[in-house]
Amino acid sequence: MLDAIGRGEFDAYSFPENWGSSASRAAALKTWTGDAPMPILTICGAETEDQRNPEWYVDAIKHFVDAWVESSSTGTRYLPQRAKPLLGVPLVGTGVGGGFSQLTSIVKQMIVTCQSLAAEHDIDIIITVRDARTFVCLQYLRRKEEYWPTIQGERLEHAKFLANKMETGKLVLFLGAGVRR
């Protein structure tokens, strides 16, 4: 059973002393062995009115990634065949977390934050959603905005040109020897 701030029988695993405060909103379970995805418990919802803003919700993702970075120092990985570790994060706050009315703002900030964190920690991050309507919103905003911090200028224009060719079926990839699935 958990107490009011989320401790209780899980204390033996790895909850920090200040768990539940705005300074500590995520914790990984120390008993993780690497044979399944690593669970990281994260406080995403807002309990007070001053927390009900997009920054509060998106900040939970930063805590989540920080907890993963701290706990993954053992080197054990669930998907060792991937070039980069893969983290899955929910679109925080938009369900029962209190932020549904700010869906667009949260999505925009989540995209920017996840891309920044992925680049900073050399990881891949996927944003998971609960329904098709939210997925369409996320995809629309992701495609509409220019979220390519590492590609700029002429290279960005060329990337858009190639993307257009691909979307219209006018791009063929030729892959040489040594390419495996």
Residue 90: which of 126, 47, 134 has the closest Cα? 126
Q: Phi/psi of residue 119, each to 5°?
A: -65, -40
- 154 pLDDT above the threshold of 70: yes
Give residue-wise pLDDT tens across range 92-139: 877 666 666 777 888 888 888 998 899 899 889 999 888 888 888 888
Residue 33 has pLDDT above 70, yes or no: no
pLDDT of residue 4: 45
Cα separation, 4 vs 52, whole angstroms: 20
Task: Tell me what pLDDT residue 62 has.
Answer: 92
Token pair belonging to 75: 């080197």
Instruction: Report helix, strand or coil for 120.
Output: helix
Other Cβ atoms within 10 Å of 123 Cβ, number? 18
Q: 69-85: per-residue pLDDT in tens?
A: 887 765 556 677 788 88
Q: Residue 68 phi/psi, 5° resolution?
A: -65, -45
